[in-house]
């Protein structure tokens, strides 16, 4: 080839590269990031909410709540745990609650304080309000909400699963403690250092007593612990296993065992359909922390750091245990029921009907994102409601393995009778007006018994009377 031909070839190659650069659309980077959310509720536990929502997340996606350990933060857990990788890959929203030194000197969740671990109160209610906000804001699937956490966050995971089995479909307790082990700081330290031995029945009763009368189905629970943990004794993992297998009515003898990477021993405890209801993961030699496994493989995630230890990607196996690796239900997922309709209302009830779904074994009915009942038919009557109150409903079909499909479009029904009223006043004046009562210097709303703080004239709240003599906190907004 002559010099002139080589020059001509080089010129054409350069021109082609220029045209490709001009007309090729670049791949845009993800705009999703960890973002603080305010105004998610009355927030009685004084927590902060952070969220990570992948770009173009469709309605009906799952939600995972991830809680940090002592001395950590939402940002720290987001950066090290590996959960954002699977939120992007499988399509779900992430919620990161955060506490602070104002709540606890070491920024631990107060899993051992009655005012924070009781259903409808304190930090537990704040986390539940974050879930409610996420479901409303992003149209998340109320039947696929999960919770996980490390250390104090793991102990708080136990609390959330016991307090709100009507909200959470599953959980993963990492280096945590069974619910009901402690009632104050002193007993909490005993649980951490020595564990507390109870029978499976006693542990199970502690869950059932906190659940608001829930009778099932119960959350599917994974328990992770390092055998070399000197901060939270590994015996707590056995007690957590006993607690949740008893709740499910299962033996403490595993249905199967296997060996995973990082010297991890897995044991599964299957339900009557042969599906794991409880799983334990014991990481040989691991100290106190969350198991991560940096790398680009599907089963690798996270980065190492203080309390983030290089053994195995626990977040991947938790997501897999919950079925999130099916990217929103997989090929087996049932479609959403169509034609959800309000067929009647009374002062205290709402009647619903919807179209049948092929392959459905039963249906779950949700009020305001919380499951209120199951039925094998295509109709349901929700009773015991407040009069003159608007309620939002969705329905999801369940297959023979109790796996929920997509949720229906929501419908709103308003019961007849009492019209709600809103009252904003100091706690002292709420008590004086008969909207609340005080006990030992604290004030509680009449009817709901929600805690609204100290008995004085300086603390102000808005209370909503949803039915005669029944008041709830409505600080985040009250329409009546």
The residues annotated with a catalytic role in the active site are 151
For residue 210, CA distances in Å to 165, 166, 199, 201 come to 10, 12, 18, 14
Residues 254 and 266: their CA atoms lie apart, in Å, by 10
Residues contacting 212, CB < 8 A, separation 6+: 119, 163, 166
Largest CA distance in the chain: 102
Residues 327 and 358: their CA atoms lie apart, in Å, by 21
Residues 226 and 228: their CA atoms lie apart, in Å, by 5
Other Cβ atoms closer than 10 A to 56? 9
**Helix (H, G, I), strand (E, B), or coil: what is residue 462?**
strand
Burial of 184 per CB tally in 10 Å (0-12, 13-18, 19+): exposed
Cis before 217 (ω within 30): yes
Element (H, E) at 187: helix 185-194
Find the angle CA(382)-CA(246)-CA(189) to the nearest 5 degrees: 105
Residue 93's DSSP bridge partners are 63
Residues contacting 9, CB < 8 A, separation 6+: 1
For residue 203, CA distances in Å to 150, 178, 206, 359 come to 21, 8, 5, 37
Other Cβ atoms closer than 10 A to 272? 10
Read off the tokens for 167: 């909200």
Read off the tokens for 139: 């149209």
């Amino acid at each position: 080839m002559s010099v002139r031909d080589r020059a001509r070839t080089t010129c054409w190659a350069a021109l082609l590269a220029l045209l490709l650069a001009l007309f090729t659309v670049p791949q845009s980077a993800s705009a999703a990031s960890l973002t603080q959310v305010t105004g998610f509720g009355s927030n009685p536990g004084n927590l902060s909410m952070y969220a990570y929502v992948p770009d173009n997340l469709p309605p009906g996606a799952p939600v995972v709540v991830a809680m940090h350990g002592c001395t950590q933060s939402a940002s720290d857990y987001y950066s090290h745990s590996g959960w954002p990788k699977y939120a992007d890959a499988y399509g779900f929203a992430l919620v990161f609650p955060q506490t602070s030194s104002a709540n606890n000197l070491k920024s631990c969740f107060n899993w051992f304080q009655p005012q924070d671990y009781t259903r409808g109160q304190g930090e537990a209610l704040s986390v539940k309000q974050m879930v409610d906000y996420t479901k409303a804001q992003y149209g998340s699937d109320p039947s696929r909400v999960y919770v996980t956490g490390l250390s104090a966050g793991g102990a708080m995971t136990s609390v959330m699963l016991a307090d709100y089995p009507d909200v959470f479909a599953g959980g993963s307790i990492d280096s945590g403690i069974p619910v009901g082990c402690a009632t104050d700081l002193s007993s909490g330290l005993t649980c951490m250092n020595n564990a507390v031995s109870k029978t499976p029945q006693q542990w199970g009763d502690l869950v059932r007593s906190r659940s608001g009368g829930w009778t099932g189905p119960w959350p599917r629970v994974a328990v992770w612990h390092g055998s070399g943990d000197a901060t939270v004794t590994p015996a707590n993992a056995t007690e957590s296993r006993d607690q949740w297998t008893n709740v499910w009515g299962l033996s403490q003898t595993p249905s199967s065992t296997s060996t995973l990477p990082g010297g991890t021993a897995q044991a599964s405890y299957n339900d009557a359909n042969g599906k794991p209801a409880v799983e334990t993961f014991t990481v040989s030699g691991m100290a106190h922390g969350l198991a991560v496994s940096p790398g680009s493989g599907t089963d690798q995630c996270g980065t190492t750091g203080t309390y983030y230890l290089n053994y195995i990607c626990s977040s991947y196996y938790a997501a897999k245990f919950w079925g999130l690796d099916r990217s929103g239900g997989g090929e087996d997922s049932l479609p959403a029921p169509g034609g959800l309709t309000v067929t009647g209302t009374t002062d205290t009830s709402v009647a619903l009907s919807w179209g049948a779904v092929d392959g459905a074994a039963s249906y779950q009915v949700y009020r305001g994102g919380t499951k209120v009942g199951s039925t094998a038919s295509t109709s349901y009557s929700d009773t015991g409601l407040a009069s003159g109150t608007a309620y939002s409903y969705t329905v999801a079909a369940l297959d023979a393995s109790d796996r929920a499909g997509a949720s229906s479009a929501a419908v709103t029904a308003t019961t007849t009778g009492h019209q709600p009223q809103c009252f904003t006043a100091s706690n002292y004046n709420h008590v004086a007006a008969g909207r609340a009562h005080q006990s030992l210097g604290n004030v509680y709303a009449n009817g709901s018994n929600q805690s609204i703080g100290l008995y004085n004239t300086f603390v102000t709240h808005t209370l909503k009377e949803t039915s005669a003599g029944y008041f709830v906190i409505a600080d985040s907004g009250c329409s009546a």
